[in-house]
Amino acid sequence: MTPVVEEALKSLTTRVNLSTGLAHPLDSDSAKEMFKILSEHGESLNGNEITTWAAQNGWSNRHASELGDLGEKIGSGGRVQIKNKGRWREDIYEQWQSPQAKS
């Protein structure tokens, strides 16, 4: 897993309700949009790595697995529907690249 993917996962983890995982539509759309941004920038999305990271960072095993599956799907070109777009700032990828530059 690249440092950029890890930073993105950290950002997602701080914004979703970890007790419900991706059950809420806004949380689900945040994850989908995050993975799409990463994929569009050429980041590799490995489902097993994402699942392991999430399980070690506060996600329940079930929700971590769902997150990993979603990342793998989007990373391999799978299509998803995002109803609530614009969940991330326009420059979020750059922020994930340079986390120390966050204000």
- Average pLDDT of the residues in 47-73: 98
Average pLDDT across the chain, whole number:
94
Q: What is the pLDDT of residue 76?
A: 96
Is the pLDDT score of 29 beyond 70? yes
**pLDDT higher than 70, residue 36:** yes
Which pLDDT value is given to residue 103?
37
- The stretch 75-100 carries a mean pLDDT of 92
Positive or negative, the Cα torsion across 97, 3, 41, 72? negative
Q: What is the pLDDT of residue 100?
A: 63
pLDDT for residue 99: 73
- Give the CATH fold of the 3-15+25-101 domain: AhpD-like (1.20.1290)
List the domain boundaries for the chain. 3-15+25-101
Question: pTM of the full predicted structure?
Answer: 0.93
Q: Is the pLDDT of residue 95 over 90?
A: yes
